[in-house]
Amino acid sequence: GSVRDAFSGEIPEKTLVLLYRNTADSAFQKQKPTYFAKSDASGNFTINHIKEGNYRVYGLRDQNFNYFYDLPNEAIAFMNDSLVLTGDTVGIQLSLFEQANELVFISDIRAVGPGKTRLIWSAPVDSFSIEPVDTSASLLLISNSRKDTVTLWHPQPVPDTLRLGIQQGMMDTTLSLPLEPIDSAFLSRANKWTNAPPTGGESSRSRLPSQELATPAILSFEVPLVGWAIDSMLLTIDSGRTIMPFTASIDSIHPEKLLITSTWLNDTAYSLMLKKGATNDLYGRVNDSLQYAFRTRAQEEYGQLLIELIAPGQHNYIAELIRKDGSIKSRQQLPAFSDSTQIVWKNLLPETYRLRIIDDANRNGKWDTGSFPDKRQPERTFYYEAELTIRPNWEYTTKFRIKY
């Protein structure tokens, strides 16, 4: 048979494949196998000279070299049913996965600035509760994109010590934390703009930051915003001669970001000016006056990807476009279809991607790993066989047929 990583689709070389005559689940976790082999560089394995009988089959990335599963960071695979061997058996496919670690803990929590605390989980978490024990206090919580770090902002007045009640999974604890005070020097400073340094005067368009045509421009600040005054902002083109319409809003997930939305013109230099006091932050501070110059991309810089997905209906699919570094460029939750559907990605910059389709069995909008105690396999993933290279002003069209 063969072994592959359930999520990445990669070939895990030298994975142990274990056969147990003892078909109890506990054998895999306490005993060495009756037979074993290691997968080769292609993920394939062969076990010869096996006595006829009933066996359980497992895969294991063995971290402590004891030939059974006893560590939470060991990746495993298993067959749903026992294997009855009466002759040669071929075509066994094992999907290797790490079980979700239910025992998430706080790996670090500390004050990192005036009124600001950072908490780091030992693993990404989807849900948690962090509340001040003092019910009169309040907190602003911001999670990062990986869901493994939470930034806590403490509105005034900030106490010397904060007691927090924290709940996550099996964790239910109370912590006392020293806080960095907010002093008069901090309150007298402007809310710092953290984009590239403000641009003033004449600038070469080729040296301006690039702005995507289909997304808002973003102004990032040091401290979360609570308000803005659009009449203290000005968006212009033609070296300030033409005023352009726009809207402004605070990002609902990352409130330290101000989103500037407009119908961007193709390949055009813009200037965004904010007067002093155009925004105010959590502590009542305002911004200094600033000017941000940028250039929108030309439509010809983009390519387009069109995929005809041919797959069994009655499944809930997610399509993901993956960069070479493994990060996700874009994700689409596909609508229901019978036999085939079209997946379209527009405004893609020249880059090489991989295409991953997830069979989202529990319909929660993400890939879920497996569970050995629950006998639940990881959700199926399918990778398009070739890399997808996007070129400027060009449409890449292909078909992807999924077979179960």
Fold of domain 303-401: Immunoglobulin-like (2.60.40)
Q: Which two tokens stand for residue 370?
A: 């497996």
CA 268 to chain centre: 32
**For residue range 22-56, what is the model confidence (pLDDT) as tens digits?**
999 999 999 999 999 999 999 999 999 999 999 99
Q: What is the pTM of this model?
A: 0.86
Fold of domain 2-96: Immunoglobulin-like (2.60.40)
What pLDDT is stored for residue 313 in this prediction? Answer: 86
**Ordered DSSP codes for 199-235:** P-S---GGGSPEE-TTS-EEEEBSS-EEEE-GGGEEE
Of 211, 205, 207, 235, nearest in space to 301 by CA: 211
Annotated domain spans of the chain: 2-96, 106-188, 205-298, 303-401
Topology agreement, domain 106-188 and domain 205-298: yes
Confirm if 361 and 379 have CB atoms less than 8 A apart.
yes
| CATH class of the domain defined by 106-188 | mainly beta
| CATH class of the domain defined by 205-298 | mainly beta
User: Alpha-carbon distance 225 to 134, whole Å?
Assistant: 24
- How far apart, in Å, are the Cα atoms of 184 and each of 192, 218, 279, 283? 16, 29, 20, 11
User: Alpha-carbon distance 234 to 192, whole Å?
Assistant: 19
- How far apart, in Å, are the Cα atoms of 336 and each of 311, 314, 315, 333? 11, 7, 7, 10
What pLDDT is stored for residue 169 in this prediction? Answer: 85
Residue keyed to tokens 């959590």: 282
pLDDT above 90 as % of the chain: 83
Residue 395 reports pLDDT greater than 70: yes
